[in-house]
Amino acid sequence: MNSIRRRDFVRALGLSAASLPFLIGLPSLGLAAPARPRQRLIVMFSPNGTIPDAYWPNEEGPDFQLKEIMTPLAPYRDRMLVLRGVSNKVRGDGDNHMRGMSCLLTGIELFPGNIQGGSHTPAGWASGISIDQELKNYFQSREETRTRFGSLEFGVGVNDKADPWTRMSYAGPNKPIAPISDPYQMYQKLYGQLRDKESLQSILDDVREDLKKVRKLISAEDRRLLEEHEALVRQMEREVASARQQPLRVNPPVLDEGVADQNDNVPRLSRMQIDLLINSFVNDMARVATLQYTKSVGMAKMNWLNISDGHHFLSHEPDKNDEAVSKLTKINQWFCGELSYLVGRLASTPEPGGEGKMLDHTLIVWTNELGKGNSHTLDNIPFLLAGGGFGFKMGRSLRFDKVAHNRLHLALAHGVGHRLETFGKPALCEGGPLNLS
């Protein structure tokens, strides 16, 4: 249900316009099917490059075999699109990790700045908007696709530091968006108002009782004021009650308590964040989300896989270090497993008020800031698409010849009807959107 309809609904309940601010937190109700099928985008990020031999399928076209890293996606092979040969061709200031990260979704150079990495020139923030935010703005600019948040930025194990290695979403030049890594903070953002409303409703009886008692203490002339106040409280009670009658499509997930934001909790945090993400989509709070695992140069120690080395440290090991390769394969496979969980949740959840399952209306892009960890190449960035709704022909493994990743971003924009001519650095958009249909 779109926001115009919601306003009508509110009006039908006899609430004044003045009560609207109070009801803003209301989730959409999804009582009617949307005019055009919903489209959603999720960008999932994991860092430090991949192990190409354990990642890229050997075959091109619809008949392809999943390599070791991708095995968790086996049930969804038909819903996948593997894009080999897409490169981040943005150059300029900053080292490859930095540009890999901050140019990944922006497709444009970094500003000069004070962040020094490796041996390259220091750099600052990206000089343009990222594609997830571009799509969010596009959705939010239209009544029929507008949602309460537009986009949500989830993190898993991203540390507090703000620098070009930790930010991939940008609201505009010099405007990095910090992902929320703490699921409790995300919960508060999504459902805090609802909880406040519940708490409020629970105390209103007491407030009215209180006003009644107090009335006895004061002179007859002063009672008028308190009577007016009581009427306002009764009015609020009615409004809160009617707001509560409009249920969420699904209740907020019940989160495990006290899961601290720290390395060893990453597997639990990951699932909590994915559950919140799915939940927020079912309640139509946003149409765009990012899910960022750690950060570029991320040092997660995957003790749960019996790997006690830091991820970035391992990624520098040469190809001939079999042990490192095997560990890195396991690490990437673990990320793929989380992706599989996400895809699975979408595949098993009916599209609210629409046709099919949520996966039919949601496109997931799994990506990385590097092609390969020990070479720091920005070529062959592992781009893997899953899901549907953008008009792409899925179930294929495609091979391109070092095409600029800006063209993939253009394809995403065109996929939702946002017909951009260029995105990011215009010179890198030559050839237009990648043809994925």
Partner 1 sequence: MIRFFLREALAESRRMLAGGLWVSCLLLPPALSLAQTNPDLAGRELYRRECARCHGRAGQGVKGKYDDALHGDWSLEKLIRYIGKSMPDDEPGKLSASDTEAVARYINDAFYSREARARNHPARVELVRLTNRQYLNTVADLLNGFLEGAGQKTEESQPGLLGTYYNGRGFRNKIAERTDRQIQFDFGTNAPFPDKTGTNGFSIQWTGSIQVERTGDYEFSVLTPNGTRLWVNDEQKPLIDGSVSSGDFSQHKASVRLLGSRRYPLRLELFKAPKDPKASVVLQWKPPRGSAESIPARSLRPQHIASTFVVTTPFPPDDSSVGYERGTSVSKAWDEATTQAAVEVAGYVLSHLDALSRSKAGATNRMARLQAFGEEFVAAAFRRPLTPAQQRTYITQHFKRPLKPEESLRRIILLALKSPRFLYLGLDGMQRDDFEVASRLSFGLWDSMPDTALFQAARANHLQTAEEVSRQARRMLADGRARAKVRHFLHQWLQVEHVEDLAKDTSLYPGFTPEIISDLRTSLDLFLDDVVWSPASDYRRLLLEDDLYVNQRLADFYGISTNTAEQFVKVSLDPKQRSGVITHPYLLAAFSYQKSSSPIHRGVFLTRNIVGRALKPPPMAVAFKEADFDPTMTMREKVAELTRPQACQTCHSVINPLGFSLEHYDAVGRFRIRDGQRLIDASGDYTTDDGLVVKLNGARDVAEFAVGSEHAQEAFVEQLFHQLVKQPVLAYGPERLEQFRRAFVQSGFNMQQLIVDIVTVAALHHEGRPMARKRS
Q: Interface with partner 1 by CB under 8 A: which residues?
A: 18, 21-22, 110-116, 121-125, 127, 162-164, 173-174, 192, 196, 199-200, 202-203, 206-207, 209-211, 214, 217-219, 221-222, 225-226, 228-229, 232-233, 235-236, 258
What is the C-alpha separation between 21 and 23, in angstroms, rounded? 5
Residue closer to partner 1 (CB basis): 141 or 185 = 185
Q: Sheet containing 150-156: which strands, arranged edge to edge?
A: 150-156, 286-293, 40-45, 362-367, 383-387, 80-87, 396-404
Q: 151: which 2 tokens?
A: 């986009």
Q: Give me the residue label for tokens 């209301």.
A: 26
The strand pair at 383-387 and 396-404 is best described as unpaired
Q: 7: which 2 tokens?
A: 């306003």
State the amino acid at position 146 in one-letter form.
R
State the amino acid at position 230 in one-letter form.
E
Contacts of 91 (CB under 8 A, 6+ apart): 99, 109
Q: How far is the CB of 19 from partner 1 (least distance, A)?
A: 8
Q: 136: which 2 tokens?
A: 């969010």
Contacts of 92 (CB under 8 A, 6+ apart): 99, 109, 110, 123
15 closest CA partner among 233, 242, 232: 242
Residue closer to partner 1 (CB basis): 65 or 121 = 121
What is the C-alpha separation between 410 and 419, in angstroms, rounded? 8
Residue closer to partner 1 (CB basis): 173 or 344 = 173
Q: How far is the CB of 208 from partner 1 (least distance, A)?
A: 10
Distances (CA, A) of 208 to 119, 217, 222, 278, 284: 68, 15, 17, 39, 35
Residue closer to partner 1 (CB basis): 31 or 214 = 214
Residue closer to partner 1 (CB basis): 351 or 369 = 369
What is the C-alpha separation between 194 and 198, in angstroms, rounded? 6
Residue closer to partner 1 (CB basis): 41 or 90 = 90
Residue 271: Cβ within 10 Å count: 19
Residue closer to partner 1 (CB basis): 120 or 249 = 120
What is the C-alpha separation between 8 and 20, in angstroms, rounded? 11
Q: How far is the CB of 283 from partner 1 (least distance, A)?
A: 21
With both helix axes pointing from N to C terminus, report the angle between 220-244 and 183-215 in degrees, rounded to the nearest 10. 150
State the amino acid at position 145 in one-letter form.
T
Phi, psi of 170 (to 5 degrees): -135, 130
Q: How far is the CB of 216 from partner 1 (least distance, A)?
A: 10
Q: How far is the CB of 277 from partner 1 (least distance, A)?
A: 23
Residue closer to partner 1 (CB basis): 219 or 306 = 219
Q: How far is the CB of 205 from partner 1 (least distance, A)?
A: 10
Q: Give me the residue label for tokens 């600019």.
A: 141
Residue closer to partner 1 (CB basis): 221 or 322 = 221
What is the C-alpha separation between 357 and 360, in angstroms, rounded? 6
Residue closer to partner 1 (CB basis): 122 or 252 = 122
- CA atoms within 13 A of residue 135's CA, in its CB half-sphere: 28
What is the C-alpha separation between 33 and 274, in angstroms, rounded? 25
Q: How far is the CB of 188 from partner 1 (least distance, A)?
A: 9
Q: How far is the CB of 112 from partner 1 (least distance, A)?
A: 6
Q: How far is the CB of 101 from partner 1 (least distance, A)?
A: 13
With both helix axes pointing from N to C terminus, report the angle between 405-415 and 131-140 in degrees, rounded to the nearest 10. 20
Phi, psi of 368 (to 5 degrees): -155, 155
Q: How far is the CB of 255 from partner 1 (least distance, A)?
A: 13
Q: How far is the CB of 199 from partner 1 (least distance, A)?
A: 5
Residue closer to partner 1 (CB basis): 123 or 307 = 123
